Structure 1
Amino acid sequence: MLRGLYGAASGMVAQQQRQEMLANNLANASTPGYKADQASLRTFPKMLLQAVNAQSMPVNRSYPIGELATGVYLQERIPNFRQGDLMESGNTTDVALLQGILPENEDGREMALFYTVEHDNEELRYTRNGNFTVDGEGFLTTAQGRYILSTDGERMAVGSENFTVAANGIVTNEAGVQVGQINVVLAEDPLQLVKEGDGLLRFTEDGELPSVVANEEIAYQIQQGFIERSNVDAGQTMTEMMATYRSFEANQRVLQAYDQSLEKAVNEVGRIG
């Protein structure tokens, strides 16, 4: 009976975690460049039950009865790096990254492209959020003030918001002077990137992601005046949230049934006299 309690409780915990993940996706449905998290439920290792020394069996013999599931858990969250729709904003500081059809890696997952961002202590981070701005010193930054880097690894000094960005990422300031080219990098395995908040991703391996600016085999375009919308499907997410809630309630009812059975076993069946 206690095994049933553990199984129902693990189901409730897994569904609660899934509900939190879906709620976070829905909350970021309007965040530019946001990539929805996805996960699946997996079962814990099963137990193989055996009957030992039963009356109808020879002594010191055991016979298999079958497998017993020991509960479920929510597997690690994996972002979905599918390209989001482009929406025209009209702001010169908004720059959307439109990637072409990219090849798949050895594991069958499609590669992904990102902008390069300077983080604390000159570390690198990556983003698809092209909702940029210009700080007080005239540098092109993210909405949180992180510097956007060029192909030579330097900050982009655009001067003011009156700059233009070509399809290949070359930035020209108001005076008609080219100030650099926005760096675009390739993640052959996007699952090696970890979310850190504010639309930033951290590369978990050594080194940094390679630039594809001079790579003719990788097709992409940079669209000024557009932003890449979140790839969250709000309708589908709401449906999944309702199904998750119903599954949580079902596990809750099972847990309550076990609790009532234990109460009877302790207070009624086990009563002396």
Structure 2
Amino acid sequence: MQESMYSAMFGALTQEHRLNIIANNLANVNTTGYKRDQMAFKDVFVRFAHDEIREATFNLKSEQLFPDPDHYAKPRIAVAQIDFEQGSLKQTGGPLDVALSGEGFFKVRTPEGEDFYTRGGAFHVNAVGQLVNGNGHQVLGEGGPIELPGEGGQVTVSGSGQIFVDGDEVDALTVVGVDNPQVLEKVGHTYFRIRTPGAAAEIPVPETVVEQGYLEMPNVEVVTEMVNMIEAHRAFEAYQKIITNTRETDSKATDQVGRDK
């Protein structure tokens, strides 16, 4: 099988993976707090054993025992990374809708634990007076789950995350950053968590402002994603054509050129 077959096959698989990522970004174009995924590439060199051998020569006319080093550069997928760029803020006017202007995340408690982060700030009060998000999971404050006393009180959230009900401070939203955001992984429901425990630590984000009455929209540009999708489709079709042509060439070499005369 020719080298072009392997290269084209890998290229087609890469574009298929890229299309899956683009489709997921477009599917979440209206998901509050969603962060788009993007693919990263790197060049690697295929090295052969003789490439690393540096033979000694006794004179200028000495013949080389090994062929010249051959290196072939090929693109490889490095990793699918999360783009944490700030999304636009949409004004809702809801007293329990909050958005982060700057870095950082809200912390929520799920049945799997408390180490979950999110940028989604569409909160409401459940039947027992706790502040929860759209999934019904508790929003964490300085003392644990946030509880809002009474009903019908005027809720005010300051820029630093302090929560006031009728002028009395009841708690403060836990807003934290991560010193290495690239170790975060998505776990659904716009949640993130540290992929490997201990790989990153929480840090304060004093420059971040909590905006009451706003929600952060996803950082997905529909036009850009559609252009990327068309480009990926065209590339996939080109790789398919290379695979077909290579197969036809191999078949011709086997059936015609290699036939005994």
* Interval of TM-score (by shorter of Structure 1 and Structure 2): 0.7 to 0.9
Query: How much does 1:21 deviate?
Result: 0.8
Q: Which amino acid aligns with 1:167?
A: G
Query: How much does 1:66 deviate?
Result: 3.3
Query: How much does 1:245 deviate?
Result: 1.4
Q: Within the alignment, does 1:95 sit opposite 2:95 as a pair?
A: no
Q: What is the distance in 2 between the residues matched to 1:251 and 1:148? A: 48
Q: What is the distance in 2 between the residues matched to 1:202 and 1:130? A: 17
Q: What is the distance in 2 between the residues matched to 1:150 and 1:172? A: 13
TM-score, length of structure 1 as denominator length: 0.81
CA separation of 1:41/1:252 partners in 2, compared to 1, >3 Å: closer, same or farther?
farther
Superposed CA offset, 1:95-149 (max 9, x none): 11112xxxxxxxxxxxx31111112243311111112222222211121111110
Runs of 4+ in 1 over 4 A off after TM superposition: 57-60, 159-162
Query: How much does 1:93 deviate?
Result: 2.2
1:79 maps to what in 2?
Answer: 82
1:223 maps to what in 2?
Answer: 211
2:164 maps to what in 1?
Answer: 172
Give yes or no for contact 2:35–2:83 (8 Å, CA) kept in 1: yes
Q: 1:68 aligns with which of 47, 59, 72?
A: 72
Count of residues in correspondence between the two structures: 249
Q: What is the distance in 2 between the residues matched to 1:46 and 1:161? A: 67
Task: Give the unaligned 5+ runs of structure 1.
Answer: 51-56, 100-111
CA separation of 1:60/1:86 partners in 2, compared to 1, >3 Å: closer, same or farther?
closer
Q: Which amino acid aligns with 2:250?
A: L
Q: How does 1:184-263 map to 2 (within 5 A)?
A: 184-203=175-194, 204-206=196-198, 209-210=201-202, 212=204, 218-263=206-251
Query: How much does 1:9 deviate?
Result: 0.3
Give yes or no for contact 1:96–1:226 (8 Å, CA) kept in 2: yes
Task: Give the unaligned 5+ runs of structure 2.
Answer: 51-60
Q: What is the distance in 1 between the residues matched to 2:114 and 2:124? A: 20
TM-score, length of structure 2 as denominator length: 0.85
Q: What is the distance in 2 between the residues matched to 1:183 and 1:211? A: 11
Give 3-state SS (helix, strand or coil) of 2:67's partner: strand
Give yes or no for contact 2:25–2:220 (8 Å, CA) kept in 1: yes
Give 3-state SS (helix, strand or coil) of 2:22's partner: helix
Q: Which amino acid aligns with 2:184?
A: L
Give yes or no for contact 2:105–2:176 (8 Å, CA) kept in 1: yes
Give 3-state SS (helix, strand or coil) of 1:75's partner: strand
Query: How much does 1:237 deviate?
Result: 1.3
Q: What is the distance in 1 between the residues matched to 2:203 and 2:14? A: 39
CA separation of 1:178/1:209 partners in 2, compared to 1, >3 Å: closer, same or farther?
farther
Q: What is the distance in 1 between the residues matched to 2:246 and 2:255? A: 14
Q: What is the distance in 1 between the residues matched to 2:116 and 2:199? A: 12
Q: What is the distance in 1 between the residues matched to 2:112 and 2:233? A: 43
